[in-house]
Every structure is written in C-alpha cells, then in structure tokens.
C-alpha cells in the first residue's frame, strides 16, 4: 500500500445502487486521475479499485459490502465441463487482439445497450457516452475481438496493467451482437481473455466486482479457482 498511501481520494454522496434494488451506493474516487492513475492504477486494482472511463473508484457503501473485486490466476484456471462445452459449441469463432478503437465498435455497442440493457443506466446508448466510458488517455487498452467468419460479434475491452513483478489484465467491459445471445458471448469472451492471459504469461485477469445477490454480476464465480478481495485481503475460492 506504500505506493498509494499519499494519493488523494474523495467520497461521493450516496445515490441509488445500480445493481441492488433499494440499496444506496457510495464511491471512493481517486482525485486527479489524469496525473496519478497511470503510475498507480495497478496498485489500486490490487486493493479493490476499478476504472470507469478516466475515473478510478472503489465502492464504499454505508450499509453494504457485497461488491467483492474478483481476479483469476491465469496459470491456475481450470475449465469446467460447461465451459468446455461452450468452447466446443463456438469453435468456429476466431479471436483477435486490437489496440485501437474500430469504427465497427460503436454500432455493435449501441445495439447491445439498446436491446440487452434497456433497463440499465446506460440506456439509451450514445456515441458521446461510448467514447467517455470506454476510452482512457492514461491507460493501455486492448480489445479482444470475436468474429464469426468476417463478422465482428463481440468486443472485450481489456485494460493492461503492471504492478511491480506482477502483471494483470482487467476485463473492463464486454459488448456483443444480441443476435448471438445463444452463444453466451459474455462468458465466451472471458474465456478468450483467460486463454490470452495464459498465452502471454499474464499473472491475473480481473473480472470487476462479484455481487452474490445480483444475477448480472454473480456469474463471475463460475471461473475457478479465483480470488475475491474481502476485508482488505485476497481470499481463495474454488
């Protein structure tokens, strides 16, 4: 924690939780991320922080502690039977890594938000919203693209991190073609990110926050073994 002990943070006011009904949410925010985030983001991720656009935050809710940062050690991950079946079902798809935002991304994102997340805070999608949410001037971003032949069907926005001798990727966000809902592209893209972290000898893949009582977020504990950040320490789960 020594690398981050002198960073300045602020506390937001409470507001309705995006994930749990009738709950209030509050965030610790890194101040001046354009100056501090590039150097310290890896260390902050290791103590439960995450980014949204240029901002870096961690939940600090007055009456709830259900958000648990989750990460997977790439060399230890083991495919479940259902994950093996998913990979086999989608074996005709191909995966590529890009380092710049393609003009094909926003139309795919727009369809995803407007059809899959009509009940979410990001609906309706706009180009300005997409640019401010995904882009990050101080970080290194990779885009894990999934194709059905020549058709782009999923994009896993992935942050590349380095923390001393430890390396990590963070699965920041995934959006996909709603016509391929049957292919479980959200889970499939995570499996591709895990395969790539192992291939590139990256130590960890962060999956954001696991929330047991939120159906949209609790799928993350299906990737095992994994670690969750609870009471200021990483605990092992399988």
pLDDT by position in tens, the chain (length 238): 445 558 999 999 999 998 998 899 999 999 999 998 999 999 999 999 999 999 999 999 989 999 999 999 999 999 999 999 999 999 999 999 999 999 999 999 999 999 999 888 899 999 999 999 998 999 999 999 999 999 999 999 999 997 777 899 999 999 999 999 999 999 999 999 999 999 999 999 999 999 999 988 889 999 999 999 999 999 999 9
Nearest-angstrom CA–CA distance, 135 and 146? 20
Starting at the edge strand that comes first in sequence, how are the strands of the sheet with 9-11 ordered?
9-11, 27-30, 55-59, 50-52
Tokens of 38: 């590039």
Exposed, middle or buried: residue 216 (CB in 10 Å: 0-12, 13-18, 19+)? Answer: exposed
What pLDDT is stored for residue 119 in this prediction? 85
What pLDDT is stored for residue 2 in this prediction? 45
Give residues with Cβ within 8 angstroms of 86, minimum separation 6. 184, 187, 188, 191
Contact between residue 38 and residue 56 where contact means Cβ atoms under 8 Å apart: no
- Which pairs from 160-165 meet CB under 8 Å and 24+ separation? 161/41, 161/42, 161/45, 161/206, 162/42, 163/42, 163/43, 163/45, 163/46, 164/42
Q: What percent of the chain has pLDDT over 70?
A: 97
Neighbours of 174 (CB within 10 A): 20
What pLDDT is stored for residue 166 in this prediction? 87
What pLDDT is stored for residue 6 in this prediction? 80
Nearest-angstrom CA–CA distance, 133 and 185? 21
What pLDDT is stored for residue 3 in this prediction? 54
Nearest-angstrom CA–CA distance, 92 and 38? 38
């Amino acid at each position: 924690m020594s690398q981050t002990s002198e960073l300045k943070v602020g506390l937001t006011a409470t507001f309705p939780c995006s994930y749990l009904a009738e709950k209030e949410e509050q965030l610790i925010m890194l101040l001046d991320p354009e100056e501090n985030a590039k150097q310290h983001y890896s260390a902050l991720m290791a103590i439960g922080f995450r980014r949204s656009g240029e901002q870096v935050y961690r939940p600090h809710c007055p009456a709830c502690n259900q958000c648990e940062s989750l990460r997977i050690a790439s060399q230890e991950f083991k495919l479940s039977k259902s994950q093996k079946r998913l990979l086999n079902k989608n074996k005709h798809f191909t995966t590529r890594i890009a380092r710049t935002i393609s003009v094909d991304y926003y139309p795919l994102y727009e369809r995803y938000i407007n059809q899959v997340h009509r009940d979410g805070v990001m609906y309706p999608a706009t180009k300005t919203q997409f640019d401010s949410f995904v882009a990050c001037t101080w970080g290194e971003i990779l885009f894990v693209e999934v194709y059905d032949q020549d058709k782009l069907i999923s994009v896993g926005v992935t942050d590349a991190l380095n923390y001393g001798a430890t390396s990590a990727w963070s699965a920041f966000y995934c959006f996909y073609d709603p016509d391929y809902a049957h292919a479980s592209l959200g889970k499939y893209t995570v499996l591709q990110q895990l395969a790539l972290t192992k291939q590139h000898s990256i130590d960890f893949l962060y999956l954001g926050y696991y929330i047991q009582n939120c159906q949209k977020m609790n799928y993350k504990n299906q990737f095992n073994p994994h670690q969750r950040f609870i009471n200021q320490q990483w605990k092992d789960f399988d």
